């Protein structure tokens, strides 16, 4: 993915010189989105290959940049990274051709198989996303969720999508069981049974139609990391399974894998259209790290994301580093973003994601304002999204179904 193309202003060049950067390095970092002391430190730490010279020189420059950071933020970042989900290659892998299992009901409106994920897609001439901001967050209490070190982002993203309609309806703290859904993904979904070590929105879609979902109180989440990591723990009791099966999801959904359409408006435009209809959308996309960085040191674990909730765009020289799934809940128009704005998402890493949500890092984007939530760019979503899943029924029907599944 290309950089922003912005030129480094004189003030930024002076800042870069203070920490020992050359003019060429400063320009590369500016093109990658650095524009202030905090964003400079974030991008240098995420993309060390943008710096020239030896490892010792890079370390010295990073130390100089760290001196410009708040000590409390440095301490918080170290603590946050120790508690992150374990880096597990293939947790949300690239997709390979395989037919939709015949046992699963036909639920999709657009599920044609596409070639294996080849890396970054070629640029498209997309129209900019237009219109006002969208926020699908209500005033009712909706506690943050914490997946711990398990690779369970898919059931958390889908549970959030299912909980969202009755959150908007004003119900306090809707809470569906990610533990049950993950079990159903691996023991009831045909594609999940075929690939238990891989986790996909398709598996969650099949599980909802074949086994349903129950309330968190009926099958509480187990945060401890099992061995192997994709193990699901004990099966739900027959009574819980029967209760969930009674309210399995039989309505149509909007699902797509590798949702790239060379002739259409693009994935970002599709997600924004769903938001404008009041529909939360679960997405899966790759996490990206610098080719010179260790596995796990990716854009979702970066200083910018963990402290401030802003996931940096991939830039040239970055490679896939596993994947992640979140629930999209809003859109913020922004003139400087190439496609026109940023998507607001709900994460599943608790309050340790966006721990300082009100900090202005002077990147031109308003602070996220909520712990556990974040922004990712329309361009990132449009060019890298692996899968998307959204409910298709009308809003009133979704709310009614959400109440039934939550035991209301």
In the chain, domain spans: 10-69, 134-405
pLDDT of residue 253: 87
Assign a CATH topology to domain 134-405.
Answer: Cathepsin B; Chain A (3.90.70)
φ, ψ of residue 83 to 5 degrees: the values are -105, 5
CA dihedral 278, 221, 302, 321 (to 10 degrees): -90
How far is residue 357's CA from residue 354's CA, in Å, rounded to a whole number?
A: 5
* CA pseudo-torsion sign 308, 311, 317, 320: positive
Helix (H, G, I), strand (E, B) or coil at 318: strand
pLDDT of residue 78: 67
How far is residue 296's CA from residue 232's CA, in Å, rounded to a whole number?
A: 23
Return the DSSP state at 20. T
Kindly write down the DSSP assignment for every residue of 272-316, as one continuous string.
HHHHHTT--EEEEEEEEEETTSPTT-BGGGSHHHHHHSBPPPP-T
Residuewise pLDDT in 10s, the chain (408 residues): 344 455 667 888 888 888 888 989 888 888 888 888 888 888 988 998 898 888 889 888 888 887 776 666 766 776 666 666 665 443 443 333 222 333 333 333 333 333 333 344 555 667 899 999 999 998 889 999 999 889 999 999 999 999 998 898 888 899 999 999 999 999 999 999 998 888 999 999 999 999 999 999 999 999 887 777 778 888 999 999 999 998 888 888 899 887 655 445 789 999 999 999 999 999 999 999 998 888 888 999 998 999 999 999 999 889 999 999 999 999 999 998 999 999 999 999 999 899 999 988 888 889 999 999 999 999 999 999 999 999 865 444 444 444 444 454
Q: Which of 215, 239, 249, 237 is nearest to 408 (CA)?
A: 215
Q: Provide the token pair at 186.
A: 């691996």
pLDDT of residue 107: 35
Looking only at the bridges linking them, the beta strands covering 281-290 and 387-391 are antiparallel
Kindly write down the DSSP assignment for every residue of 196-253, as one continuous string.
TT---HHHHHHHHHHT---BGGGS----S--SSTT---SPPPHHHHHHHHHT---S-E
pLDDT of residue 392: 66
Helix (H, G, I), strand (E, B) or coil at 329: strand
Whether 118 and 194 have beta carbons less than 8 Å apart is answered as no
pLDDT of residue 319: 93
How far is residue 227's CA from residue 243's CA, in Å, rounded to a whole number?
A: 29
pLDDT of residue 106: 33
Burial class of 213 by CB neighbour count within 10 A (0 to 12, 13 to 18, 19+): buried
pLDDT of residue 37: 82
pTM of the complete model beyond 0.85: no
Question: What angle, rounded to 10 degrees, do the helices at 23-31 and 37-46 form?
Answer: 90
pLDDT of residue 85: 66
């Amino acid at each position: 993915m290309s950089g922003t193309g912005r030129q480094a202003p004189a003030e930024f060049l002076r800042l870069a010189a203070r920490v020992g950067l050359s003019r060429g390095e400063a320009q590369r970092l500016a093109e990658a989105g650095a524009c202030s002391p905090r964003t400079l430190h974030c991008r240098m730490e995420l993309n060390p290959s943008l710096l020239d010279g030896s490892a010792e020189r890079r370390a010295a420059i990073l130390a100089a940049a760290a001196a410009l950071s708040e000590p409390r933020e440095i301490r918080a970042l170290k603590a946050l990274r120790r508690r992150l989900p374990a880096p597990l290659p293939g947790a949300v892998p690239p997709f390979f051709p395989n037919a939709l299992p015949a046992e699963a009901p036909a639920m999709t409106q657009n599920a044609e198989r596409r070639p294996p994920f080849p890396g970054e897609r070629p640029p498209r001439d997309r129209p900019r996303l237009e219109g006002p901001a969208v926020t699908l967050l209500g005033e009712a209490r909706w506690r943050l969720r914490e997946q711990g070190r398990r690779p369970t982002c898919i059931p958390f993203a889908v549970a959030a999508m299912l909980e969202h309609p009755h959150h908007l309806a004003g119900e306090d703290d809707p809470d569906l069981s990610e533990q049950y859904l993950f079990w159903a993904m691996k023991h009831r979904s045909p594609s999940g049974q075929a690939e238990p070590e891989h986790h996909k929105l398709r598996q969650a879609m099949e599980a909802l139609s074949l086994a349903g979902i129950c309330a968190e109180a009926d099958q509480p989440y187990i945060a401890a990391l099992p061995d192997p990591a994709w193990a699901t723990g004990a099966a739900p009791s027959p009574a819980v399974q029967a209760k969930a099966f009674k309210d399995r999801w039989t309505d149509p959904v909007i699902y797509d894998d590798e949702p790239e359409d060379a002739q259409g408006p693009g994935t970002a435009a599709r997600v924004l259209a769903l938001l404008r209809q009041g529909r939360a959308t679960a997405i899966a996309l790759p996490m990206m790290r610098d080719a010179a960085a260790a596995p796990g040191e990716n854009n979702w674990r970066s200083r910018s994301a963990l402290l401030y909730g802003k996931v940096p765009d991939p830039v040239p020289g970055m490679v896939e580093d596993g994947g992640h799934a979140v629930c999209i809940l809003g859109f913020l128009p922004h003139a400087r973003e190439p496609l026109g704005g940023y998507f607001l998402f709900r994460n599943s890493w608790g309050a340790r994601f966006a721990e300082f949500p009100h900090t202005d890092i002077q990147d031109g984007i308003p602070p996220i304002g909520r712990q556990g939530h974040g922004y990712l760019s329309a361009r990132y979503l449009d060019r890298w999204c692996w899968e998307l899943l959204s409910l298709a029924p009308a809003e009133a029907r979704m709310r009614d179904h959400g109440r039934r599944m939550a035991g209301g």
